[in-house]
Amino acid sequence: MATTRSADVRRAAIVGGNRIPFARSNSAYAQASNQDMLTATLDGLIARFGLQGKRLGEVVAGAVLKHSRDFNLTRESVLGSRLSATTPAYDVQQACGTGLEAAILVANKIALGQIESGIAGGVDTTSDAPLAVGDDLRRVLISLNNAKTLQDRLKALARIRPGQLVPEIPRNAEPRTGLAMGDHAAITAKEWEIGREEQDELAVRSHSNMAAAYDRGFFDDLVTPFLGLARDNNLRPDSSVEKLATLKPVFGKGEGATMTAANSTPLTDGASAVLLASDEWAAEEGLPVLAHLVDAQTAAVDYVHGGEGLLMAPVYAMPVMLARNGLTLQDFDFYEIHEAFASTVLATLKAWEDPDFCKSKLGLDAPLGAIDRAKLNVNGSSLAAGHPFAATGGRIVAQLAKQLHEAGPGKRGLISICAAGGQGVVAILES
Amino acid sequence: MAVTVLDAAPSLAKLYAKAAATAWGRGGDLPDERLARNGVTVDPVHLAAYDRVCRLPLGDVLPATYPHMLTFPLQMALMSDRAFPLALPGLVHVRNRIDVLRAIRADEPLDLQVWAENFAAHPRGAAVDLRATASAGGEEVWRSTSTYLARGAKAPEGAPEADIEVPVGELERVAATWRIPDDAGRRYAKVSGDVNPIHLSGLTAKAFGFKRAIAHGMWVKARVLGALSGRLPDALRLDVSFRKPLFLPSTVTLSTEQVDGGWEFAVRSATSGTEHVIGTLHPL
Mean pLDDT (chain A, rounded): 93
A19 forms beta bridges with A223, A272
pLDDT digits (tens, 9 = 90+) for B237-254: 999 999 999 999 999 999
Q: Given an 8 Å threshold on Cβ–Cβ distance, is B58 in contact with A225?
A: no
Residue type, A57: G
CB contact under 8 A, B107 and A228: yes
**A358 an active-site residue?**
no
User: What is the chain A residue with the closest CA to B107?
Assistant: A228
Could you tell me the domains of chain A? 181-217+295-430 (3.40.47.10)
Integer Rg of chain B from CA = 18
Average pLDDT of span B249-260? 95
Decide if B158 touches A, using CB distance below 8 A: no
- The catalytically annotated residue of A184, A207, A387, A405 is A387
Percent of chain A with pLDDT over 70: 97
pLDDT per position as a tens digit, B203-213? 999 988 899 99
CA dist B270 and B88 (Å) reads 31
Q: Report which DSSP code applies to B247.
A: B
Report yes or no: B258 at the A interface, CB cutoff 8 Å: no
Is the model's pLDDT at A162 over the cut of 80? no
Give the model's pLDDT for residue A7.
Answer: 61
- Per-residue H/E/C for chain A: CCCCCCCCCCCEEEEEEEECCCEECCCCCCCCCHHHHHHHHHHHHHHHCCCCCCCCCEEEECCCCCCHHHCCHHHHHHHCCCCCCCCCEEECCECECHHHHHHHHHHHHHHCCCCCEEEEEEEECCCCCCCECCHHHHHHHHHHHHCCCHHHHHHHHHCCCHHHHCCECCCCECCCCCCEHHHHHHHHHHHCCCCHHHHHHHHHHHHHHHHHHHHCCCCCCCECCECCECCCCCCCCCCCHHHHHCCCEEECCCCCCCEECCCECCCEEEEEEEEEECHHHHHHCCCCCCEEEEEEEEEECCCCCCCCCCCCHHHHHHHHHHHHCCCCCCCCCEEEECCCEHHHHHHHHHHHHCHHHHHHCCCCCCCCCCCCHHHECCCCCHHHHCCCHHHHHHHHHHHHHHHHHHHCCCCEEEEEEEECCCEEEEEEEEC
**Per-residue pLDDT reduced to its tens digit, A138-150:** 888 888 888 888 8
pLDDT value at A80 more than 90: yes
Least confident of A27-36, A138-147, B87-96: A138-147
Residues of chain B contacting A31 with CB distance shorter than 8 Å: 44-45, 48-49, 58
State the pLDDT confidence band at A5, using cuts at 50, 70 and 90.
Answer: low
Residues from chain B that touch A36, judged by Cβ atoms under 8 A, are 57-59
Q: Is some CB atom of chain A closer than 8 A to the CB atom of B235?
A: no
Q: Which A residues in the span 211-240 are in contact with B, Cβ-Cβ below 8 Å?
A: 225-228
Pairwise pLDDT comparison (A108 vs A151), residue with the higher score: A108
The ipTM, to two decimals, is 0.87
| Active-site annotation holds for A387 | yes
The helix/strand/coil state of B19 is helix
Of A132-136, A216-220, A417-421, B24-28, the poorest mean pLDDT is in A132-136
Least confident of A105-114, A122-131, A349-358, A369-378: A122-131
Mean pLDDT of A196-203: 95
Average pLDDT over residues A331-340: 97
Per-residue HEC secondary structure of B182-245 comes to CCHHHHHHHHHCCCCHHHCCHHHHHCCCCCCCECCHHHHHHHHHHHCCCCCCCCEEEEEEECCC
Angle between helices A342-353 and A313-324 (to 10 degrees): 50
Q: Residue B209's CB: how many other CB atoms inside 10 A?
A: 9
The answer to whether the CB atoms of B58 and A227 lie below 8 A apart is yes
B28/A contact by beta carbon, under 8 A: no
Peptide bond into B249 cis (omega under 30): yes
Q: Are strands A412-419 and A334-337 parallel, antiparallel or unpaired?
A: parallel
Nearest CA in chain B to A39: B57
% residues pLDDT > 90 (chain A): 81
Q: Does the beta carbon of B17 lie under 8 angstroms from any beta carbon of chain A?
A: no
Rounded to whole angstroms, how far apart are CA atoms B53 and B55? Answer: 6
Ordered domains of chain B (ranges, CATH): 1-161 (3.10.129.10), 165-284 (3.10.129.10)
Angle at A44 between CA A113 and CA A121, to 5 degrees: 50
Residue-level pLDDT at A2: 56
Least confident stretch, A198-207, A254-263, B124-133 = A254-263
pTM given for the model: 0.91
Interface test with B, best of A27, A31, A123 (most B CBs within 10 A): A31
Beta carbons of A32 and B57 less than 8 Å apart = no
- Give yes or no for residue A196 having a pLDDT over 70: yes
The amino acid occupying position A146 is N
- Looking at CA atoms only, how far is residue B93 from chain A in angstroms? 30
User: How close B269 gets to chain A, by Cα (Å)?
Assistant: 25
User: In this complex, do A225 and B60 lie within 8 Å of one another by their Cβ atoms?
Assistant: yes
Q: Does A58 touch chain B (CB under 8 A)?
A: no
Contact A40 B60 (CB under 8 A): yes
Instruction: Specify the pLDDT at position A38.
Output: 98
How far is A171 from chain B, CA to nearest CA, in Å? Answer: 26
**Average pLDDT for B22-50:** 92
Residue among A32, A80, A226 minimizing CB distance to B230: A80
Q: Nearest CA to A87 among A54, A122, A136?
A: A54
CA–CA dist B38, B111 (Å, integer): 4
Instruction: Assess B1–A contact: CB distance below 8 Å, yes or no.
Output: no
B123 close contact with A: CB closer than 8 A = no
Q: Looking at residues A252-263, what average pLDDT do you find?
A: 88
Touching check for B59 and chain A: CB below 8 Å? yes
Share of chain B above pLDDT 70, in %: 100
Residue A128 has a pLDDT of 81
Q: Is the pLDDT of residue A357 over 90?
A: yes
- Residues in A closer than 8 angstroms to B60, CB to CB, are 40, 225-228
* Separation of alpha carbons B236 and B228, rounded Å: 12
How many Å apart are CA A146 and CA A140, to the nearest integer?
Answer: 10
Q: What is the pLDDT of residue B142?
A: 98
- A51 CB neighbours in chain B (<8 A) are none
pLDDT at residue A13, rounded to an integer: 98
What span, in angstroms and rounded, lies between the C-alpha atoms of B219 and B56? 11
Q: Is 70 exceeded by the pLDDT of residue A177?
A: yes
Banded model confidence at residue A4, pLDDT cuts 50, 70, 90: low
Write down the pLDDT at residue A252. Answer: 85
Tallying the residues shown for chain A, one arrives at 431
Contact flag A36-B107 (C-beta cutoff 8 Å)? no
